[in-house]
Amino acid sequence: MPLNDPCILVIFGASGDLASRKLIPSMYEMHVMGQLHPSTVILGVSRTQKSDDQWRDEVQLWVAKQVANFDASKWVEFAQRLHYFAGDAAKPDCYPALDARLCEMAESKGTRGNLLFFMSVAENLYEPIVEQIDAAGLVVEGKRWCSVDQSAKSWQRIIVEKPFGHDAVSAASLNRALGRAFEEESIYRIDHYLGKELVQSMLVLRFANTIFEPLWNWQYIDHVQITAAETVSVGQRTAFYDQTGAIRDMIQSHLFQILAFVAMEPPSLYTPENVRAEKIKIIDSISIPTADEVAAHCALGQFAGDGVEGAYNELAGVSPTSTTETFAAIKVHFDNWRWAGTPFYIRSGKKLAAKRTEVVVQFKPPAANLFRKLPGFTGESPNRLVIEIAPKERFNLRFDVKVPGFGLHGANVDMQLDYADRFKTDPVEAYGPLIVDAMRGDQTLFKHRIEVEGAWNAVMPFLDERSAKARAGIHGNYACGSWGPKSADDLLARDGRVWRNEP
């Protein structure tokens, strides 16, 4: 893989939690792995006054805590890439000094005027900061910039963190604001789930193996389950979470990205343009339920008290009448040839029985059960592919075999690939490879504007007034440590199916 261009990675919100816990540790890992150009540097921007050395000392504690096999000598090298600028990026008076600092760094570090902005700030600051970047003339789209090598052309790109909007209207507004400053090919809407190995590996599993792709359709697959379960509560994020909920926080973003990889058509070639085009098409083909159908297509819940803390609507910062969901399950259908009639069930929630992110592909039973009178053969299909994304990284394929001995007795067996055991590598923070992709100009694992807006359109019936019936009786309707409210089980039971809740 060719080395990426040198650049200045400008992190807005450098004093925040995301920068400390994820972004800087991921960049340290990329440095250790030799994935950063020798001239690439990082400029953290935040309102808090501090020096370069103070910021380096602060983030070193996080890097040492977050990164396996932290190497102090490698940190000394990496720390020289880190610089800090104090200023309010949402205000115009910040930019003359910031522009001067960027010009100085471009000349002294040899970054050729290439800038990669990362929006690690509150969602309401995205548009103001983008407007100020544009007004300050920092985006020149390949024109000569500062006093760096005048024969070289520079690029300016932006990475936008989720949540990308709060609903369909705000997402479209943010896209317009970004489009006024940057070309679409310079906008990188990041979702760190696409940096996870098993999510990317789903494309290889499907499209590099003829044993799967011919069966990957409504004729052979009964249904698909996508789960992202957490055992933790909302912590200190009650104000944020009460404005967000499980659908906005997880389903519309992370789980729809997994959904797209599971359901999309094969691209003609693995290129950014082709992969993103297929993702756009599959999201656009989601069947949107009518107002009368919404309650039958979802299950919403809030966790009850557990003796450690109260029920969700009893927490400090949450309105007692709040109907924000801490658990959501929705049923999705696609209006296309491949998946006609095949349901996809998607669920996510807080304070559930186990921490798990996985995809379950349940195949249909054989057309005729010739073993129906023999022990061990239920007539139900044993064929199931489970793709475990977290906390383990595994593929698990289940099928029936004969039990050794006299007579014909059937039993389910599992064939498993454990990534850590097979490849003997430690996982890296998912943000690192994605940021490096942005430095290389590779948009394969980033969302297109149309895809984002399509995803919001698909979930809006479960968020707006059409979901009122589904939110009735939501308070404390599932116990902590369970798999969610009874309505989630009913969602599948109405179709004669059950969730995979196995350990």
- Number of Cβ within a 10 Å radius of residue 70: 16
Distance (Å, rounded) from C-alpha 57 to C-alpha 216? Answer: 51
31 annotated active-site: no
Distance CA(350)–CA(488), nearest Å, equals 14
The CA-atom distances, in angstroms, between 27 and each of 11, 425, 443, 444, 486 are 12, 18, 19, 20, 43
Smallest CA-to-CA distance from 85 within 102, 109, 67 is with 102
Cα–Cα distances (Å) from 385 to 203, 377, 460, 483, in that order, read 14, 19, 30, 21
What one-character DSSP code corresponds to residue 225? E
Tokens of 486: 């009874």
Find, among 165, 129, 139, 225, the residue nearest to 447 by Cα.
165
Give Cα 386 to chain centroid, integer Å: 19
SS3 for 472-501, per residue?
Answer: CCCCCCECCCECCCHHHHHHHHCCCCCCCC
207-215: Cβ within 8 A, 24+ apart: 207/266, 212/385, 213/266, 215/363
Contact 224, 359 (CB under 8 A): yes
159 three-class SS: strand
Rounded distance, CA 258 to CA 345, Å?
Answer: 12
Burial call 2-35: b when 16+ CB within 10 Å, e when fewer: eebbbbbbbbbbbbbebbbbbbbbbbbbbbbeeb
CA distance 409 to 198: 35
Tell how strand 41-46 and strand 8-12 pair up. Answer: parallel
Q: Hey, which residues does 320 pair with through a beta bridge?
A: none
Phi-psi region of 375 (alpha: psi -120 to 50; beta: other; left: phi over 0): beta
* Catalytic option among 254, 297, 448, 475: 254
Q: Considering only CA atoms, which of 471, 214, 140, 491 is closest in space to residue 325?
A: 471
By CB atoms closer than 10 A (0-12, 13-18, 19+), residue 37 is middle
Q: How far is CA 273 from CA 2, 23, 204, 442, in A?
A: 19, 26, 17, 10
Helix ranges (H only) for 110-166 are: 126-135
Distances (CA, A) of 351 to 88, 304, 365, 393: 37, 9, 34, 22
Catalytic residue ranges: 254
